[in-house]
Amino acid sequence: MELKERAEEYENMSMSNMSTSDRVHASRKGKEIILALNEVYKETKDEEIMDLMKRLTAKKQKIEKRLKGRP
């Protein structure tokens, strides 16, 4: 499945030395992958997909937290 491969690639992507535009791009890519996985999950109810979505969401939230800055 190509979607799982993209998800694994996103999950293993290095977050160091990212510019702001790279972070925006990574955040959007993460959202796209998560939404696609969600559509598959709705049909299959596969727990492995749910775990993958949770891991990707955590990584995406870290990227977005860095984008918004810390007070």
Tokens representing 14 are 């290095």
Instruction: Name residues whose C-beta falls within 8 Å of residue 19's C-beta, 6 or more positions apart in sequence.
Output: none
Q: What is the DSSP string of 4-52?
A: HHHHHHHHT---TT--HHHHHHHHHHHHHHHHHHHHHHHHH--HHHHHH
pTM score, whole prediction: 0.82
> Per-residue pLDDT tens for 15-64?
888 888 989 999 999 999 999 999 999 999 989 989 999 999 999 998 88
